[in-house]
Amino acid sequence: MSNTILSFKTAYLSAVAKSWVDPKFSDSFYKEGETNILTFLEDHSGTPKQFINPWKNLVINFLKDDGHDLHWDPIKTGRWVGDDDRLMIYFPEDPGVDHRVEALAKYNFIFPTFMGKIKSNFEMLFDEASQQVIIDLLNEKHIPIPSLLTMGVADFDLLDFSAVVLRAISLYWEDDDFKANIINGKGNFLDKTPILSKWFGYNNPWNFSLNFKDNKRFDLKSGCDCDSQYPANVISLGKPKKPHNLNTKQSDKAMLPIALAAYNDDGNSYPFTCC
């Protein structure tokens, strides 16, 4: 497991625990988390910050309140029960047959995994304005600037999936039948794992529903290499609401550590919520 995922999971688990004992924090966590859990964790990680979002083109949020909440079921299943998490990946526009091979390589550079590139320590320590001041000062003094590019460390499952995504994009640009089957329309969250299995023999190792959308503004022919111009892929998680003890002889508080430990240990198929 990469340090970036572990960093997120540590901060996230702390927030989940606090949400179960602090109603005001819980309201903010689950409401703001529907937009972006990463920014919420940054804003509520103390001073100095204990968590800094390491990803350039990734959003992690909660699924909307429409029956997706997770609940702890220690009697029937002995685990947390709920709908699968969701991964939404945006496909770039077809750059035209003459530019496809270079565009695909550029996509792989932007998204070496579906999480995108990792921020360097320099980028995490300083905001964009401060970064530019420092870079200008180094240039003025003719001091060589080391590369700020950080790809990060990826597990084999991530790399395998990235290879399949590249194949899917190249076929999406070429084959209308595949394109019609792989893209999720507005409001359609049907899992596209069977499509990847049919065309590429891919078996999804995660409890993620895989979704793909086209993005008309995702233009790989653009001369700009600014990370902010590219759409962020989105991971949506079920909300682990506070569990309640079905044993009337015990308080809910007696159940919370057991439920939190189980949430943290539901297996590798939940890479962003469990160890």
Q: What is the pLDDT of residues 82-136, one digit of tens each?
A: 888 999 999 999 999 999 999 999 999 999 999 988 776 656 665 666 666 666 6
Helix (H) or strand (E) holding 58: strand 58-62
Q: What are the CA-CA distances from residue 230 to residues 29, 114, 220, 222, 259 (Å)?
A: 27, 13, 9, 11, 38
Report how far Cα 261 is from the mean position of its chain's Cα atoms.
22
- Local confidence band at 255 (pLDDT 50, 70, 90 cut-offs): confident
What is the predicted pLDDT for the residue at 190?
Answer: 94
- One DSSP character per residue, 70-89 reads BEEETTTTSEEE-PPEEEEE
- Local confidence band at 249 (pLDDT 50, 70, 90 cut-offs): low
- Please state the pTM of the whole predicted model: 0.84
- Local confidence band at 50 (pLDDT 50, 70, 90 cut-offs): confident
Nearest to 21 by CA among 29, 10, 32: 29
Helix (H) or strand (E) holding 51: none
Tokens (6 digits) for 264: 């943290």
Q: What is the pLDDT of residues 6-33, one digit of tens each?
A: 889 999 999 999 999 999 999 999 999 9
Residue 86, phi then psi, degrees to nearest 5: -130, 140
